[in-house]
Structure 1
Amino acid sequence: MTISLYEASVGVFVPYLGNLSGLLDKAAAHPEARNIDPAVLLNMRLSATMYSLKQQVAEANRHAVVACAMLAGHAPHEFSDAEPDITELKSRISEAIDFLQDLPRAEIEAAADKEVAFTFKNGTQRKFTGKSLLLTFSVPQFFFHVTTAYDIMRHAGVDLAKKDFLGPPK
């Protein structure tokens, strides 16, 4: 069986980014219902050494966008540096989805053996083939950040269930 890099990348990232946006919809009502500042929720983290909710969402976006851009040979979409609220996070997710869906399928499909280099925030690079970037790095990173965002919201008391994370069956 061969794997479609497009389906394993865009085909996975897009629906789960949509699910993440839906989680944020539920989270948006939480601060008002609990009479807390929304920034408290956005800045929550599971541990002092982990990223906050807003950073987890940003990293999920980043891993999806950068991986697919690298596979397609395009520059990744750049997001605003403004301090995000929930509405802005949802807007960035929408931008990411639009960017991913606009990438050429054929370019992504042809990238399995293409050498790519992921640049970390500290400037160091790690080389991959397109397939190894996607399957051993970007998809696991993406799901780590989406799951951690979900966990932060659950920990904060946002009324979520596994079905909210998974979304509708496809």
Structure 2
Amino acid sequence: MYEASVGLFVPYLRNLSALLDKGVAYAEARKFNPAVLLGMRLSPDMYDLAQQIGEACRHATVASALLAEREPVVLPVLEHDMAGLQARIATSIEFIESLPRAAIDGAAEQQVFFRLKNGTELPFTGRTLLLTFSVPQFFFHVTTAYDLLRHAGVELAKKDYLGRK
């Protein structure tokens, strides 16, 4: 369970941070404000880049906290600035890495409830939370962030998404 949660979330959050760095470098090389990238969206009814990053962090921290039977870290209000998003990612990584491995490994059959933004609670076991909800949600938002940066012209490749191994 630990490897299926922390073992996935942390490296891909680091990759997400590196993608943002590439976006900043791209904007600076072309002499425009990198914050412009954060408002981009694929469709008018989808979250923008900043919100995609915020949701990736939220799903990773909440799922990990639920598995460890801890309160999730309180992330600051989502701002549309690169430094704030980098800080959000760093805080998420730090929190997730601080959680006890034994508690997460023992959470496969434990009953957990994921609270949606509207207050609705969805029941899961630890295993189904990861496999059917949190990991897919996390990767949806990380992938969409990658796609937005690619669409903006940032020179990214699959190895940037996957991380350098």
TM value normalised by structure 2? 0.96
In structure 2, how many angstroms separate the alpha carbons of the residues matched to 1:141 and 1:147? Answer: 10
Report % sequence identity: 61
Q: Decide whether the 8 Å contact of 2:75 with 2:88 is kept in 1.
A: yes
Structure 1 residue corresponding to 2:144, chosen from 144, 148, 153: 148
Q: Does 1:38 align with 2:34?
A: yes
- Partner SS, residue 128 of structure 1: strand
Give the residue type in structure 1 aligned to 2:85: L
In structure 2, how many angstroms separate the alpha carbons of the residues matched to 1:27 and 1:52? Answer: 14
Give the unaligned 5+ runs of structure 2.
none
Could you report, residue by residue, the CA deviation over 1:58-92 in whole angstroms, capped at 9, with x for unpaired residues?
00000000000000000001111152411221111
Structure 1 residue corresponding to 2:13, chosen from 11, 17, 23: 17
**Number of residue pairs matched by the alignment:** 165
Could you report, residue by residue, the CA deviation over 1:13-38 in whole angstroms, capped at 9, with x for unpaired residues?
00010000000110112222233333
Deviates more, 1:158-167 or 1:30-39: 30-39
- Partner SS, residue 153 of structure 2: coil
1:49-128 matched pairs, under 5 angstroms: 49-81=45-77, 83-128=79-124
- Cα RMSD for the two superposed structures: 1.0
Could you report, residue by residue, the CA deviation over 1:137-170 in whole angstroms, capped at 9, with x for unpaired residues?
000000000000000000001111110000123x
- Partner SS, residue 68 of structure 1: helix
Give the unaligned 5+ runs of structure 1.
none
